[in-house]
Amino acid sequence: MRQRVFSGMQPTGIVHLGNLMGALTNWAAMQDDHDCIYCVVDLHAITAPFEPEEMRAARTDLAKAIMAVGVDPDRSLLYRQADVPEHVELMWLLGVDATMGPLGRMTQYKEKSDKAGERFGLFAYPLLQAADILIHRVHAVPVGDDQTQHLELTRDIAERFNNRYGETFPIPDRITPPVGARVSSLQDPTAKMSKSDPNPHAMVGVFEDPDAIMKKFKRAVTDSGSEVRYDWDEKPGISNLLEIFSFFDGRSIDDLVAEYGDQMYGHLKVAVGEAVVEGLRPIRERYEALADDEVEEILSSHAARAREMAQSTIEDVKQAMGLA
């Protein structure tokens, strides 16, 4: 039996190499062996300041990007979280038994509340994330290291519900992406590439102008010395470039080190930039070929299917809890 998997992405900022290499490429690859459900998690996105009109456009743009990378709406379910209100309904049903301690210990909550204040949306974020996963009773979730804590909380919530009300949810396993799980900032290779980075040269957008991409790689921070070597402890800048290069070029890191090991850092930066530009070209072309109204139609029809699945889960949850 094919496993059912779920993953989501927020429609905030621009889609960058970290999103592509750490998530979206793997989303497309998983369609071959899994029943995939993917979601534009707009309800999560509004826990940060936003402009309504920008949010409206960003939701469609992200869906286009997901499809351009290779998620096929004929093989996977793709919808907007806000179009399936059962996500929020399940969040409440799960939340009545959740305790304050684990939610307050979430690393993401601690970091964001330090900047934005102790807001309910940030505090309850992991509950909604658990509902996202459990509403479709999925078997596995592809997550990076930064989301492991959230998945563990989801597993705990599902186990607690099953123990109290009867077996209702499968306990979701973690799928670790095989490649590209670690993509660092081009200006600080000790930090993850992020949409929120204030340095415009730190992040490379998937749909960015090719000339701008080349400039960013030429300005990428490297390490002391002149040896091209894969070593995250001593040479994080070069190691980051080698991982990106290997992803887009298709050759192993060992082969790339053998070719560029005795060359100047500048030669490596140019080669990486050229590989990225060429690798992004077909994704850009597919993105530009997608019409907004076509994407909207897909999202709406898929949301209707997602609601049917979600309503079945809600009915079972209510029955288990004595609410139906």
Active site members: 112, 192, 195
* Cβ-contact 158, 22 below 8 angstroms: no
b/e map of 184-211 (b: 16 or more CB within 10 Å)?
A: bbbbbbeebbbeebeeebbbbbbbbeee
* Cβ-contact 37, 4 below 8 angstroms: yes
Residue 187 and residue 247: Cα distance in Å, rounded? 19
In a 3-state reduction of DSSP, which class is residue 259? helix
* Cβ-contact 174, 251 below 8 angstroms: no
* Cβ-contact 68, 62 below 8 angstroms: no
* Cβ-contact 175, 142 below 8 angstroms: yes
